[in-house]
Structure 1
Amino acid sequence: MTSTTAPTHQARLTLTPNTALAGLLDGAWWPYSRDLATELPPLVDALRARWGRVTRVTANPASWPVAPREVAVGEYAVPVGWFTGQDLDTMMLLSYGLTRCDLLVIPPETEPASAARLMAAASTPGNLHTTGTLMAGEETSIR
């Protein structure tokens, strides 16, 4: 198990409001680094009130330089599944409370204005854009 100390920061997270208007994403997360062992605990803590205890996470290993099999989150460990077929900028979290939460993962090096636009777009109720479409659209607007 990958060990971690208490989080030193809160997760930069925006979630879709609770609404009947479902979309493809449940929100966006903008980690401070590409160190999943450091970044995942504050994310899991931030999601707990809405989704319950996170029991598993999946991601694409190309976005994370170290791919731990599990990450310590308080008194328990969250297993991490690595799938090369999953979108680079997507993280799926499974929980007891709600079956899954799909998040756009904004690269840590993203400029704040771009990150704010991406977070707003991903958390819009009824959003039908994939993570790839959102990221490509933001890259186009920066140029």
Structure 2
Amino acid sequence: MTTIPYTPAVEDRTSSLPLRLLLAPAGTAPALLDGAWWPRSRDLTAELPALTAVLDPLWGRITHVTVNPTFWPTSPRKVPVAGHVVGVGWFKAEQDPHKLLLLSYTVGRWDLLVVPPETSPATAARLMAEAADPLGTLTASALMNEAEQRRIAEETELSLVSVWDSEGGHGASLPTSRSPHAVQPGAEGA
């Protein structure tokens, strides 16, 4: 599995930055997801041209894309891309909100996990690798839920360490053989 570095030739807002895409290895058995895409924004008009420019030669001309509008503030009906137009559809109840479905008349369909643009690089890398794993059995939402649970656990652990440190736990010296609560000989009546 390799990330596909790509800088679009068409001038747009993301032209100076490489496409963040990881696909399952070619020729592997179909899984629930065919890879992952980490867009830089939630603007399909700005993001789709670079994605389709990379996928068209690999998968055949992408003709339609569907999304769940939950995480896309605007969903245009059509997006112009290099030499053609990609139709955009949206399905709120029927489609996983964390998935982008790509269709090609000549080849078929692909499902990509959409990693939210605000995701940290470490989490995004982990999510992309899991989504591109041909043995993966989790849906896009299940991967995102797992990542959220991991984030919460890490924040909780950091919070506990912070409390421990603030209460002297990290910098405190280890107790000696004399406990502060032990009664010292000759101190009983003093």
TM-score, reference length from structure 2: 0.70
Please report how far the alpha carbon of residue 140 of structure 1 lies from its aligned counterpart in structure 2 after TM superposition.
0.9
Pairwise mapping of residues 20-99 of structure 1 onto structure 2 (< 5 A)? 20-85=28-93, 86-99=95-108
Identify which range, 93-102 or 114-123, moves more after superposition: 93-102
Deviations 1:83-136 (A, max 9, x none): 102111000000134210100001100011000000000000121110011001
1:11 to 5, 10, 19: 19
For residues 142 and 35 of structure 1, the distance between their equivalents in structure 2, rounded to whole angstroms, comes to 25
Tell me the secondary structure at the aligned position of residue 96 of structure 2. Answer: coil
Q: Name the structure, 1 or 2, with higher relative contact order (CA <8 Å, separation 6+).
A: 1
Tell me the secondary structure at the aligned position of residue 54 of structure 1. Answer: coil
- List structure 1 segments (4+ residues) > 3 angstroms apart after TM superposition: none
Q: What is the identity percentage for the equivalent residue pairs of Structure 1 and Structure 2?
A: 50
For residues 87 and 110 of structure 2, the distance between their equivalents in structure 1, rounded to whole angstroms, comes to 15
More strand by share: 1
Unaligned runs of 5+ in 1: none
Unaligned runs of 5+ in 2: 1-9, 153-190
- Which one-letter code corresponds to 1:42 in the other structure? A
For residues 12 and 97 of structure 1, the distance between their equivalents in structure 2, rounded to whole angstroms, comes to 25
Structure of greater Rg? 2
Kept in 1, the 8 Å contact 2:53–2:82? The answer is: no
Cα distance change on mapping 1:30 and 1:110 into 2, 3 Å: same
TM-score, reference length from structure 1: 0.92
Q: Aligned residue pairs: how many?
A: 139
